[in-house]
Chain A
Amino acid sequence: MAQIVAAIAASHAPTPFMDPRAGEQGGGREIKAQYLAMGRHLVEARPQTVVIVTNEHLHAFSLANMPAVCIGVAEQYRTPYETWITVERQTLQGDPDLGAYLVECAYAEGFDPSYSQQLPLDHGVYMPFYFGEVPVSSFRIVPLIVNGVQPPMPTLRRCQQWGQFLRRALADYAGLDRVAILATGGLSHDIGTPNMGMINQDFDRQFLHLLEHGSADDVVRFCEQDLASAGNGAQEIRNWILLKSAMDDRPVQVKLYAPEPSWLTGMSLAIWDTAPVPTA
């Protein structure tokens, strides 16, 4: 039975790949400090496999084939894929056993993900590891890719259901003892539009308040009302909703909120309490 030893939500942005000094100037210093702390937290949790709940930015999928959810079942993944990123490429080791288990469990429970043995991964996966200085050779990964970039997208309610499914499926998995979940994306931002640079701080702060103090239902209801005001990039918040739902009964602490203009994104980090619950 796999125990969830770390559960982390982190904004992703390609900024550190484009500007090597992004973590050394202005608000970037606080972002760097918190990503480093997140990285230490993940390493100290000693996960055998990290399930990465994220979206990809139309590097693996296009309008030729646009899955709502795709689970990676590859042995290896190359990242980052972007041609305009110059950092050294990494090969991340996959956990195809857990990936295949999740696909089969999903089908058995009425979910219909696609799956992939050849899945290019972009900054959505690699940025938190890179910026958090996480030694990626110390665990394997299963990408769980949710479409958050090309309408139409899976509903927020469906992402909540995916989270509930993921919790159940991991709890029943006999192939691992220690697993982590890393959700990446959001918060408020707008990419590739005339409004690029917009950060809706009100949305972000209300979202983070509900993340800490509300239920997954509360978060979904709020986002159903207000998500459109937070830019196209905020659609990535599906990944946070999925993790919030997977960890719904556990406390979560927001470690960072930095609406840093030069990052074009409401940068945030949240870490769930994954300590075993004492039995009475």
Chain B
Amino acid sequence: MRAAGCAGVATRTLIDMSQFALNQFLYDTGAEATLAEYRRSPAAVLDRYDLTLEERQAVEQLDIARLYAAGVNPYRLRYFCLSMGITTDRFLAAFQTQPAER
């Protein structure tokens, strides 16, 4: 639905609450302490987020194409991957075998 006077404004630029949890996980692990905790005990950190089973599995498997398709912010996806040691080549290769729809 479009607000009057805002012709041309897209209505789908915001994400839903499930994607919020996934994005918030990626944001929080941008901080050194949370990243270190995630490296020590990933399940304990993931338990704090209201993720769907699919989202949680995508994180646990570091399934880049699925995370991208799930609607995470691309910067946070890239930086989470960098913090996990994923190079640019490996990042891009992840899209070779799976569709990149989102």
Interface of A toward B, CB cutoff 8 Å: 18, 57-59, 62-64, 81-84, 149-152, 191-194, 196-197, 232, 264
Contact = CB atoms under 8 A, between A and B. Distances in A.
A2 B24 CA distance: 40
Contacts of B47: none
Interface of B: 10, 13-15, 20, 23-24, 27, 30-32, 35, 68, 73-79, 82-83, 88, 91-92, 95, 100
A150 B13 CA distance: 9
Summarize A's interface: helix, strand, loop or mixed: loop
Contacts, number: 68
Contacts of A151: 13-14
A197 B74 contact: no
B27 A58 contact: yes
B73 A150 contact: yes
Contacts of A59: 30
30 contacts: A58-B73, A58-B75, A58-B76, A59-B30, A62-B23, A63-B20, A63-B24, A63-B27, A64-B24, A82-B30, A82-B82, A83-B31, A83-B32, A84-B82, A84-B83, A150-B73, A151-B13, A151-B14, A191-B74, A192-B74, A192-B76, A192-B77, A192-B78, A193-B68, A193-B74, A194-B92, A194-B95, A196-B91, A196-B92, A197-B88
A115 B17 CA distance: 26
Given A83-B30, A83-B35, A149-B73, A197 B14 contact: no
Interface centre among B30, B76, B77, B91 (most CB of A within 10 A): B30
Contacts of A194: 68, 92, 95, 100
B74 A232 contact: yes
Interface centre among B27, B32, B75 (most CB of A within 10 A): B75
A62 B19 CA distance: 12
B78 A191 contact: yes
